[in-house]
């Protein structure tokens, strides 16, 4: 598929390299593409990236994501699946910018013709792109109301090393709040472990 990743940071680059290795056509989108030519990946402007993509990935800081998407424009995003992996955090990582909602919900509200799937935001970028580097299986969550959008996202997750057995559909887009709010616990766990290289695994009861 043609995958456009909005952002050029660690998350966007890790996902882009992985999907490229799986045979997808990836393009990073930047506000200043001429200044980001050293990434070993193709880079274009935001609008060009959106026009190129069958699937867009929002890998921008959650505090600016809606503004950035509005700069591209709703008509350019209409009908395009948008996978949102962003989380809005304060500069000191102690507060969420969407404490009573989620970034994914706000994107979906602002762009009603763009199906938004929330996933991959409960882990570090290195784990997103290489889950087999962990000591065992772990869980990645999906939130969205559109079943076809979830199916496409699921296939792309499989291409990133997340088998169906590791994927957990937790419901509609409002459940993205739980994924994003986990960021505060993630920071606490990382401080306790002294490492960001971990993920959680949902282990059901034997009777489930």
Convert the pLDDT of each residue in 67-117 to its tens digit.
999 999 999 999 999 999 999 999 898 999 999 999 999 999 999 999 999
Residue corresponding to tokens 């013709």: 113
Confidence of residue 27 (pLDDT cuts 50, 70, 90): very high
State residue 127's pLDDT score: 95
pLDDT digits (tens, 9 = 90+) for 147-197: 999 999 999 999 999 999 999 999 999 999 999 999 999 999 999 999 999
Alpha helices by DSSP H, 22-78: 46-52, 65-72, 74-77
Residue pair 80/52 in contact by the 8 Å Cβ criterion: no
DSSP 8-class letter at 44:
E
Cα–Cα dist 16/96, whole Å: 26
pLDDT of amino acid 37: 87
Q: Are 122 and 136 in contact (CB under 8 A)?
A: no
Structure tokens at 32: 């200043």
d(CA 4, CA 13): 11
Give the CA diameter of the chain: 56
Q: Side by side, which strands form the sheet with 55-58?
A: 43-45, 25-30, 2-6, 55-58, 81-84, 116-119, 140-143, 167-171
Predicted local confidence at residue 48, as pLDDT: 97
Q: Where is pLDDT greater, at 37 or 180?
A: 180
Q: Tell me what the mean pLDDT of segment 25-49 comes to.
A: 94
Going by C-alpha positions, the residue among 62, 27, 24, 55 that lies closest to residue 41 is: 27
The number of C-alpha atoms within 13 Å of 61 and in the hemisphere containing its C-beta is 8
- Tell me the angle at which helices 103-110 and 65-72 cross, rounded to the nearest 10 degrees: 20
Q: What is the mean pLDDT of the chain?
A: 96
């Amino acid at each position: 598929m043609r995958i456009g990743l909005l952002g050029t940071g660690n998350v966007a680059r890790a996902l882009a390299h992985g999907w490229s290795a799986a045979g997808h056509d990836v393009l990073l989108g930047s506000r200043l593409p001429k200044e980001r030519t050293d990434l070993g990946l193709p880079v274009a402007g935001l609008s060009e990236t959106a026009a190129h993509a069958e699937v867009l990935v929002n890998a921008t800081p959650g505090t600016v994501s809606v503004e950035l998407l509005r700069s591209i424009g709703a008509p350019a995003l209409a009908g395009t699946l948008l996978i949102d992996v962003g989380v809005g955090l304060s500069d000191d990582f102690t507060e969420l910018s969407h404490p009573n909602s989620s970034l994914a919900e706000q994107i979906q509200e602002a762009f009603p013709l763009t199906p938004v799937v929330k996933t991959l935001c409960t882990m570090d970028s290195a784990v997103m792109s290489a889950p087999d580097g962990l000591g065992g299986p772990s869980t990645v969550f999906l939130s969205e109301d559109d079943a076809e959008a979830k199916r496409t996202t699921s296939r792309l997750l499989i291409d990133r090393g997340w088998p169906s057995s590791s994927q957990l559909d937790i419901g509609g887009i409002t459940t993205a709040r739980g994924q994003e709010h986990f960021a505060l616990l993630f920071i606490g766990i990382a401080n306790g472990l002294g490492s960001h290289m971990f993920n959680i695994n949902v282990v059901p009861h034997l009777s489930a």
